[in-house]
Amino acid sequence: MKTPPPHRYRRSTPGTVLTAAVAVCLLLAGCSGSGGSQSGSGARVSGGSGLKVAMVTHGAEGDAFWQLVRKGAEVAAAKDGIELTYASDPDAAGQAELARDAIREGADGIALTLAKPDAMKGPIADAKAAGIPVVGLNSGIDAWRSRGVLEYFGQDESLAGRAVGDKLDDLGAKHALCVIHERGNIALEARCAGVKKSFGGRTDMLYGDGTDMDALTESIAARLRLDSDIDEVVTNGAQFALAAVTSVRKAGSRAHVATFDLNKDLVKAVQDGDVQFAVDQQPYLQGYLAVDALWLHKSNGNVSGGGVAPVLTGPAFVTKANVASVAKLAAAGTR
């Protein structure tokens, strides 16, 4: 089944329904000195500080990972009394245009991803010229400073990849297939390159189209049939790991599956033993910190990491041994 089409742009109208997590936060004494309201879908949060923040990502609509990023951003916005707009487009040119839209609409701050940093260079420069601070999250840890971004929140993908390679050695793997579902995405490339660098066995890359899950599933299965000695499939997203589990069964392979990134369905797969482990980069935390950092910068002049070092949100391994500790949080949509 194909994943939903790219999410070009979306705004929700303001509302008064708060998620349970936000409601609890706002009721706690000292959680925030300013009130706010949020629509049921959570795209816009307003009130309190009077600040307008735009989050612009390369995520696709309906992707569970990006729903976690967005949810974290919404909770931070509600706490800080920020009017938050979320927009996304997997296409680099489309994402750049969304960032320009935010500048034209007078955003006080912009949080964006740098999956393809060259495409975002112009909008970042335009934002700086307009006096709008820009923070990065999730993708672009090696490019954020050179592009003029103020702060960065995410995982060191190369480091995470090397950690996965070391873990595969510990598990006794000999031949890994690292699946890259979006060609040219620097974060995915860095992960697989890191695996190859540290893993003592053989590492092959498989490029596929992550927007066509059926085709990607069959592509992995075909490669497993061709190379029967592949004993580990490493994917770059929870949904792709679940697809790889199907691929392994279709191919009659004995390969294990491991993955970067986590969601509640993947948690169950780890519990059931279908997936060996997942690397959690904590997307909820990335969204939360990016929005909160803009509020801190605008209200108190703070710069996380001093503007020279990223704030790391991962990697952390989730295995069958420790998955129970995050299962409830994942079910609640925060891990």
Average pLDDT per run of 10 along the chain, which is 335 residues long?
Answer: 42 34 35 33 55 96 91 98 97 97 98 96 98 97 96 97 98 98 93 98 97 97 98 97 98 98 94 97 97 98 97 95 92 88
Distance CA 281, CA 294 (A): 21
Q: What's the confidence (pLDDT) of residue 39?
A: 32
Strand runs labelled E in 264-315: 277-280, 311-314
Residue 107 near residue 52, CB atoms below 8 Å: yes
Give this prediction's pTM: 0.80
Residue 314 near residue 160, CB atoms below 8 Å: yes
DSSP 19: -
Omega before 315 within 30 of 0, i.e. cis: yes
Distance CA 331, CA 54 (A): 27
Pair of tokens at residue 141: 């840890």
Distance CA 155, CA 139 (A): 8
Quickly tell me which residue has 């260079």 as its tokens: 121
Written as one letter, the residue type at 67 is Q
The radius of gyration of the chain's CA atoms, rounded to the nearest angstrom, is 20
CA neighbor of 93 nearest in space, from 210, 179, 207, 184: 184
Side-chain-facing half-sphere of 185: CA atoms under 13 Å: 24
Strand runs labelled E in the chain: 37-38, 45-46, 52-57, 83-88, 109-112, 134-137, 151-155, 175-180, 202-207, 232-235, 256-260, 277-280, 311-314, 316-319
Alpha helix ranges (H) inside 144-207:
157-170, 186-198
Q: What's the confidence (pLDDT) of residue 49?
A: 79
Written as one letter, the residue type at 95 is Q
Distance CA 34, CA 45 (A): 12
Written as one letter, the residue type at 188 is L
Domains of the chain, each with CATH number or no CATH = 20-154+282-314 (3.40.50.2300), 157-280 (3.40.50.2300)
Residue 227 near residue 175, CB atoms below 8 Å: yes
